[in-house]
Amino acid sequence: MATFSPTTEDVQIYEFCVLYPFPFGQKEENELLKGVEELFAEAGGKVLMKDPWGRRGLAYKIGGFTEGNYIVYYVELDPSKLKEIDRQMRILKGVLRHMMVKPPKNYQYLSYAEQFIKWQEDSKKDVERKELEREDKLKKQVVDKAKRVKTPAPKEPEVAKPMSGEAITKELEKIISDDLNI
Amino acid sequence: MPPSYRNQKQAQRSDPRLKKCPFCFKDTAYMDYKDYGTLKPLIDYFGNIRNRYYTGVCLKHQKMLKNAVERARFMGMLAYRK
C-alpha cells in the first residue's frame, strides 16, 4: 500500500492500463512492454509502480481473443505529453485496449493481489457488522417484549366508601342550610 | 380478520426507499473501475447497472458508479450485454 504525490507542480500522476492478448509470444510480450516503457521515457515520465495482473478472461471478445493480460502503470508525467502517448499507444502493435486515468488525491496505490486481499477483508468486516446489527436487533426485540409483559394493568378508579348514617345526616344538613342562605 | 397472503408478503419485504447508500457509509470519494468486487453486486445478470431505487445508492455515488462501470466495460472487465 502506497500513496504517491507529484514531485513538482508541472507533473501529474496518471494510471495507464494496457490490455494485450493472452496467447502471446514471450519475445513479443517483452518487446511490447519495452515499447510502452520507452514511450513514457521519451515523454520524460517516471514509472512509479508497475502492476502486472497476468492472464484474465475477457467479458467479451476483443480482436478475436477471449483471454488477455492486463498491466497497470502508475506514471508521473507532464500533462501536455498525454495526447502524444495516447496516439503512440494506438499504433503500438499488440495492444488491444489502453486507458489513461488520473487517480484522485490520496489515492491508495494497490497492486491487484493487495486489492483482492483488501476486498476480502472488507467483505468479512461487512458480514461481521451485519451479524452484530442483527444480534442487536434481536436483543432489542427481546427486551421490548419483556417490557410489554411486565407492565402492570391500569388501576381502576377509586370508589368512595359508603358513609355511615350520622355522617350522611350531617352532610345533608349542611347542604340544606347552604340552600337556605341563597 | 386474518391478514391476506399479499399483505403478509408486503410486510416481509423491506421498503426500498428506506435503504441507505453503502458508499456514503464508507465515505467513498472515488470508485475504481478495477475493483470488480464493489461493482459486481450493483450490476444485474444482463450487465446493466441496477436502478438505485433497488440498491439504495445515492445520486452522487450512482454517477461515480456509472463512470467506473463504463471504464471497466471498455477494458473488457465487464460485459456490455450478456
Does residue A94 lie in a domain region?
yes
Greatest C-alpha distance within chain A: 128
> Is the overall model pTM greater than 0.90, yes or no?
no
Q: Cell numbers of B37, please?
A: 468486487
Instruction: Indicate the pLDDT class of residue A181, thresholds 50, 70 and 90.
Output: low
Does residue A136 lie in a domain region?
no
CATH number of domain containing A20 = 3.30.70.60
Does residue A131 lie in a domain region?
no
Does residue A24 lie in a domain region?
yes
Alpha carbon of A172: minimum distance to chain B alpha carbons (Å): 55
pLDDT tens per residue across span A41-68: 999 999 999 999 989 999 999 999 999 9
Does residue A157 lie in a domain region?
no
Alpha carbon of B65: minimum distance to chain A alpha carbons (Å): 15
Q: Give me the number of domains chain A comprises.
A: 1
Does residue A63 lie in a domain region?
yes
pLDDT tens per residue across span A101-153: 999 988 888 888 888 898 889 889 989 999 999 999 999 999 999 988 877 77
ipTM confidence: 0.78
| pLDDT of the residue at A101 | 94
Closest CA to A110 of A118, A120, A101, A121: A118
The reply to whether A21 touches chain B by the CB within 8 Å rule is: no
A131-134 CB contacts, 8 Å cutoff, 24+ apart: none
Q: A-contacting residues of B 57-76, CB under 8 Å?
A: 71, 73-76
Domain residue limits at A106: 12-113
Beta strands A12-21 and A97-101 are: antiparallel
User: What is the rounded CA–CA span in Å between residue B21 and residue B39?
Assistant: 14
Domain over B29-82 is classified CATH 4.10.640.10: yes
Contact B30 A112 (CB under 8 A): no
Cβ neighbours, 10 Å, residue A116: 14
Dihedral sign from CA coordinates of B67, B68, B73, B76? positive
pLDDT tens per residue across span B23-79: 998 899 999 999 888 899 999 999 999 999 989 999 999 999 999 999 999 999 999
Contact B78 A72 (CB under 8 A): no
User: What is the rounded CA–CA span in Å between residue B81 and residue B69?
Assistant: 12
